[in-house]
Amino acid sequence: MIEYTLLVAVLAGILVLLFLILKLKLHAFPALLISSIVVGVLAGLEPLAIMDTIHEGMANTLGFVATVVGLGAMFGAILEHSGGARIVANFLLKKFSVSRAPAAMAVAGFIIAIPVFFEVGFILLVPMIYALQRQTKKSLLIFALPLLAGLAVTHAFMPPTPGPIAVADIIGADLGWVIVIGAIIGFPTVVLGGLFYGKYIGNKIFIEAPPVTIEVEDNGLKAGKKIPGVYTILAIIAIPIILILLSTFVKSGLLSIENSGLILVLNLFGHPFSALIIANIIAWYVLGIRLGFSKKELLDITTKSMGPAGMIILITGAGGVFKQVLVNTGAGEMLASSLAGIGFPVLVFAFIVALLVRVIQGSATVAMITAAGLVSPLITGGTGNFELACIVIAIAAGGTFMSHVNDSGFWLVKELLGISEKETFKTWTIMTGILSISGFLLVFIIYLLYSIY
């Protein structure tokens, strides 16, 4: 009876959310909060427990997202108004040509997401796709989806990102094999979901880049300002990425350093917060003051960037509330446990459990860790490192499935691309479904071939 109550509560909450957003056109922020309360009431949570859950969900989500989105918005605004994004876009077009620019974005996303969180990588690179759209006049989706596909696949498939590392540890998989299988599966899934589907849907839905907050000349620079060099811009963009990468390598043991003081420094400056603060300071001086911007102009640029950033922060926080209510009701754990006795092959079971938890509560990392905990007791002692790595990737594929309204990434993508909820479903949600299914089918084929031969 309790299981049916939880299932009804979850379905009702999702239906209410979709009704409020798609039919009544209510803003996503209150719609998410109302839907969260509906789920809590139907699931039997006490009124004060529901309010505590809202507090918990907002706090847990915004502790990281608010800082990253705020700093990233400021960094992106300076990059945009200095003409940096346009110059980098021209450089990419010159090196790769217009037809290959989406592939360049996919590779960039795939590489950058290894050391950088999904949100950080997208925020750092989104000015590039804005500039590419303005330069080429093609749909923003043609450049955005390959970038998002690269970021999403690496975030789920490739250590040292948190999800695959946690799953590998829980089920006892070797990280080396996980990296190998993750790379083998990751590249073709990015091609299918990002490049092929991105081109297909981009030709059907035309999206323009959001307007800049301060008017600029056609060449992307304010009149009278100096033009920054492309390698200077690339170096500034790389600074936070390199800092985060160094810290990640030290923590994971890939980079061995004996000096404890240096380790502390790398851990401090390599945190996304510190790295983005440093990037902002350098951008403020190198792309601002040195190029002829006054301090007041820079203040105006960064202050106005906080407007859309604040909306992203609120919506993302509300998405975290919706997720937290679903987690606290135990709905994800209930459904996953119900499947445990059906008797699917471990690889298939791992994928389905991660998929269901992902759809219900939104977080890819939570879905992956939950699935790993349920799958771990089913793994026999004779399972080899190759098979274990395949199971990790199957869980990652399930955890990537169909990002929708209970995932903060859904709202981040919607707001940064300036698209509607319906368009986000048609683009981002469908793309993550393609990444998930194609990734699972590929790893299942590899798993079968290995078992046969």
**Residue 236 scores a pLDDT above 90:** no
Percentage of the chain exceeding pLDDT 70: 84
Q: What's the CA gap between 55 and 62, in Å, rounded? A: 11
Residue of 416, 411, 409, 403 whose CA lies nearest to 128: 416
Q: What's the CA gap between 439 and 56, in Å, rounded? A: 33
Span of 17-26, 173-182, 219-228 with lowest mean pLDDT: 219-228
Judge contact between 443 and 390, C-beta under 8 A: yes
pLDDT of residue 131: 81
Q: What's the CA gap between 266 and 356, in Å, rounded? A: 38
pLDDT of residue 214: 38
Of 88-97, 106-115, 117-126, 294-303, give the range with the top mean pLDDT: 294-303
**Does residue 426 or residue 19 have the better pLDDT?**
426
Query: What tens digit of pLDDT does each residue of 301-343 get?
Result: 888 878 767 776 777 677 677 767 877 877 645 654 554 556 5
Task: Report the predicted TM-score, pTM, of the whole model to 2 decimal places.
Answer: 0.64
Judge contact between 368 and 395, C-beta under 8 A: yes
Band (220; pLDDT cuts 50, 70, 90):
very low
Band (117; pLDDT cuts 50, 70, 90):
low
Percentage of the chain exceeding pLDDT 90: 18
**Residue 89 scores a pLDDT above 60:** no
What is the average pLDDT across 168-193?
84
Domain boundaries, the chain: 2-207+218-452
**Residue 61 scores a pLDDT above 90:** no
Average model confidence (pLDDT) across the chain: 80
**Residue 63 scores a pLDDT above 90:** no
**Does residue 137 or residue 65 have the better pLDDT?**
137
Query: What tens digit of pLDDT does each residue of 351-374 get?
Result: 988 898 788 767 777 778 777 777
pLDDT of residue 256: 73
**3-class secondary-structure state, position 36:** helix
Side-chain-side CA neighbours of residue 268 (13 Å): 6
Side-chain-side CA neighbours of residue 79 (13 Å): 32
**Residue 215 scores a pLDDT above 50:** no
